[in-house]
Amino acid sequence: MSHQTVIVLDFGGQYNQLIARRVRECQVYCEVKPYTTPLDQLKAMDPIGIIFTGGPNSVYLDSSPKVDPEIFTWGVPILGICYGCQLMAHLLGGQVTEAQDNSAREYGKTVTYYDTACRLFKGLPARGISWMSHGDYMARVPEGFALTAHSDACPNVAIADEARGFYGVQFHPEVNHTENGVAMIRNFLYEVCGAKGDWTMGDYCRTAIAAIREKVGQGKVLLALSGGVDSSVCAALLAEAVGRQLTCVFVDHGLMRKNEGDEVQAAFDRWDINFIRVDAEERFLGKLAGVDDPERKRKIIGEEFIRVFEEEARKIGKVDFLAQGTIYPDVIESGAGDAAVIKSHHNVGGLPDFVDFKEIIEPLRLLFKDEVRQLGRELGLPEYLVMRQPFPGPGLAIRILGAITKEKADLLREADFIFRDEIARAGEDRSLSQYFAVLTNTRSVGVMGDGRTYDYTLALRAVTTSDFMTADWARIPYEVLDRISVRIVNEVQGINRIVYDITSKPPATIEWE
């Protein structure tokens, strides 16, 4: 697929994926690459611009991540954010030091003054709030750079060498707390890099279908179908590309939500595709018996999925390709190269070393969740499928803390159903991005019917998000939470305490495991 490309060079910043998401919101394609990526690989991508992310290190330390200064000779515009700004200053002859007093350190919302003659701030208000997070200070900026923004405490909040297209900001324009932050990124893309805005879902859809047809040829494709948004959109895309060459296999591993297996089958029975449902509850629960480590759970499930698909492929006849609905956050969180593994997604980091297929194809691999939904609409999927509640491939296995048993799965199924039912009754489902219950491994004393109980604690989780890379905990009304709590404790035997998770992402992830 031919698109203008921006490279987001990752130096360990907590917002690196959010930067990428903001770039794509501006209809410009981008990819996140670790700072250790060889320069020849980066240059081969022919970027129209490069963005250095933030990071937790200090640029003046020998151990801090660096990039080869040759990158500044390519004639490609570069935007440095926070650590990326300081790295640019450091490598181009400036001086970055530890702030000697609290006045030079800035964290959180900060009143900032911008030079609107600078292309980065063109057309924006001269004063606004920016989100700061830096303890180091640019004591001297490199030759050729001008100061283009300041705060009451810091004279060099932003720097620019407009002749070379190099810009640096000490704040984070990618977060919502920075006023007009996305407009600044848009200015960098369009005013500085000359972006055309050629990244659209309509274009992606057409080129993806053509690429799938070219790769698959006359071969057969088996899709690992979970019934969630990602695999459903993947199914529609593949069906459009290769039609009856596609077989969708839905593995009911006994860890689905209440009635979900039947609902998935009913939804896809209406489509003109080959659909196979495999009842594998006993098989999966047997493999997971006694396993309490979440990473092992994911890897066991990932491998067992593959083995089931291989068996089904042999029944069908020669199948060349295994397709998956893997999306970009799955890839990032599973880690690559020097990137940290947040959690191994069963369809990425959980894959076994040997897979008995010619190739795995993942047409959604570079899309964020909201882009997947856009693609689904482009393909004509009904809104109820496009906006379906996200559900992880490992299912309830990663919502049951500790060892998994059928009894625990049944317990959680009922509690989760009540939670979702009450959310829908209250009309809160329209404003929540994801909500579910987690069966903790904690038991506590309770009193029911004048008798002592010693039962499980259930955690409720609900978040709002646009991209699933960051998320805020949802402010569900107390009266709704009260109804949910009363119903679960009264209707689900084995749970006597309900807690509500009020942690955002970061520092938490959306799922508990």
281 forms beta bridges with none
**CA trace torsion 436, 438, 444, 445 (10° rounding):** 40
Active-site residue among 30, 118, 174, 378? Answer: 174
Surface-to-core class of residue 422, CB atoms within 10 Å of its CB (0-12 exposed, 13-18 middle, 19+ buried)? buried
Active-site residue among 90, 134, 172, 253? Answer: 172
Give the DSSP H or E segment for 223. Answer: strand 221-224
Encoded amino acid at 228, one letter = G
Task: Assess contact for 216 and 320: CB atoms under 8 A.
Answer: yes
Q: Catalytic: 172?
A: yes
**Both tokens assigned to 151:** 């705060």
Task: Assess contact for 311 and 280: CB atoms under 8 A.
Answer: no
Measure the N-to-C terminal CA separation of the chain; round to a whole number of Å: 35
**Both tokens assigned to 31:** 């990819």
How far is it, in rounded angstroms, from Cα 485 to Cα 389? 21
DSSP conformation class of 189: I
Q: Catalytic: 371?
A: no
**Both tokens assigned to 506:** 């970061």
Would you call 167 helix, strand, or coil by DSSP? strand
Active-site residue among 26, 30, 82, 248? Answer: 82
Task: Assess contact for 437 and 415: CB atoms under 8 A.
Answer: yes
Would you call 73 helix, strand, or coil by DSSP? helix
Cα three-residue angle 345-347-353, rounded to 5 degrees: 105
Task: Assess contact for 201 and 31: CB atoms under 8 A.
Answer: no
Encoded amino acid at 318, one letter = K
- The answer for residues whose C-beta is within 8 angstroms of residue 303's C-beta and 6 or more apart is 350, 351, 352
Surface-to-core class of residue 360, CB atoms within 10 Å of its CB (0-12 exposed, 13-18 middle, 19+ buried)? middle
Half-sphere exposure of 106 (CA within 13 A, CB side): 24
Q: Catalytic: 260?
A: no
How far is it, in rounded angstroms, from Cα 1 to Cα 211? 8
Give the DSSP H or E segment for 417. Answer: helix 406-425
Surface-to-core class of residue 99, CB atoms within 10 Å of its CB (0-12 exposed, 13-18 middle, 19+ buried)? middle
By annotation, the residues acting in catalysis are 82, 172, 174
